[in-house]
Amino acid sequence: MTLSLALLLWMFLGTQGFNTQHVIEPQPNFDLDKFAGEWYRIGLADESPLFAMFKNQLKASRGLLVPDANGNVNLTMWTLRPYGCSISVYSYEKTDVPGEFTYFSKRHKITKDITIVETNYTDYSLVLKYKNMNTEYTQVALYGRSSIQRPDLIEKFRSFALSLGFSEEAIVTPADIDPCPILEPRNTAEIREEKSSQSPNQSVFGTENLSKV
Ligand SMILES: *[C@@H]1O[C@H](CO)[C@@H](O)[C@H](O)[C@H]1NC(C)=O
Ligand SMILES: *[C@@H]1O[C@H](CO)[C@@H](O)[C@H](O)[C@H]1NC(C)=O
Ligand SMILES: *[C@@H]1O[C@H](CO)[C@@H](O)[C@H](O)[C@H]1NC(C)=O
Ligand SMILES: *[C@@H]1O[C@H](CO)[C@@H](O)[C@H](O)[C@H]1NC(C)=O
């Protein structure tokens, strides 16, 4: 098999099943300042074999999105691992199109695009990664301002993912919430101090349980 034929075959297999005709535009009049802050990833659609292996362990995880003055953003996500909480920081660079960003994927060693397809800022957002539609790279995520599973949001997410050609099995809306970041009991005193100097609603996730520690 020639190299170009192999490449063609690979490209075909990579997009198989996906609706590549779909034109995906970002949220009109995207407003980054309103979009910033805390989000929970409460749904994920991913057609890759790796995701299929681990999807049952997926939890709704917390993220914090912080823009800088230039319009680039950092997204920090927390995930519980066997050895404790891990933090991942993703740096998304703005593009000429508001609501579209790019970043370099260390895992796949390619630059990927991120599109905020739809958001109403106060409740939910639908985010597409890699809009060229590829079974290895493309993901759709549902983010909620709260970790609570809302049937209307889940339905919106599912129908969007299905319209792009994701299979039912590739769409996951985990019921469990990732407990990270977890506050270590030995740090309680420090955290109490920190907490008292913060406005009440900036307190870190989980402080409700400190009184019981
Ligand atoms: C984003 O992260 C980079 C690298 O860690 C850092 O240099 C930059 O200051 C961060 N920007 C914001 C807005 O936090
Ligand atoms: C955002 O969307 C949710 C879910 O559709 C809805 O309940 C809420 O009222 C919306 N908020 C705004 C400000 O439009
Ligand atoms: C803090 O959150 C509570 C609900 O959890 C809300 O009633 C209150 O208005 C919020 N305060 C501020 C300063 O946002
Ligand atoms: C508080 O603790 C209970 C059980 O101890 C747990 O189910 C709940 O998720 C915790 N809440 C937070 C916000 O960590």
CATH for 45: 2.40.128.20
CA 99 – CA 124 distance, rounded (Å): 15
Q: Where is 43: in which H helix or E strand?
A: strand 37-46
pLDDT at 48: 95
- Looking at the domain assignment, is residue 207 inside a domain? no
Using CB distances shorter than 6 Å, the residues near ligand 2 are 120, 122-124, 152
CA 102 – CA 117 distance, rounded (Å): 14
Residue 87 near ligand 1, beta carbon < 6 Å: no
Give the count of domains, the chain: 1
Q: How many CB atoms lie within 10 A of CB 153?
A: 21
pLDDT at 182: 78
Radius of gyration of the chain (CA): 19
pLDDT at 10: 57
Low-confidence ranges of the chain (pLDDT < 50): 186-213
- Looking at the domain assignment, is residue 202 inside a domain? no
Residue 47 Cα to ligand 2 middle (Å): 29
CA 50 – CA 6 distance, rounded (Å): 22
Tokens 């920081």 — which residue? 89
pLDDT at 65: 97
Beta bridge partners of 102: 93, 113
- Looking at the domain assignment, is residue 208 inside a domain? no
**Which residues, other chains included, contact 9 with Cβ-Cβ below 8 Å and sequence gap of 6+?**
1
- Looking at the domain assignment, is residue 200 inside a domain? no
Q: Which residue's alpha carbon is nearest to atom 12 within ligand 2?
A: 120
Residue 70 near ligand 3, beta carbon < 6 Å: no
pLDDT at 194: 42
In this structure, the strands spanning 110-119 and 84-94 are unpaired
- Looking at the domain assignment, is residue 44 inside a domain? yes
pLDDT at 11: 57
Q: Which residue's alpha carbon is nearest to atom 6 within ligand 2?
A: 123
- Looking at the domain assignment, is residue 212 inside a domain? no
- Looking at the domain assignment, is residue 210 inside a domain? no
Structural domain of residue 79, as residue ranges? 3-190
pLDDT at 193: 42
Residue 42 Cα to ligand 4 middle (Å): 18
Residue 208 near ligand 3, beta carbon < 6 Å: no
pLDDT at 96: 97
pLDDT at 8: 57
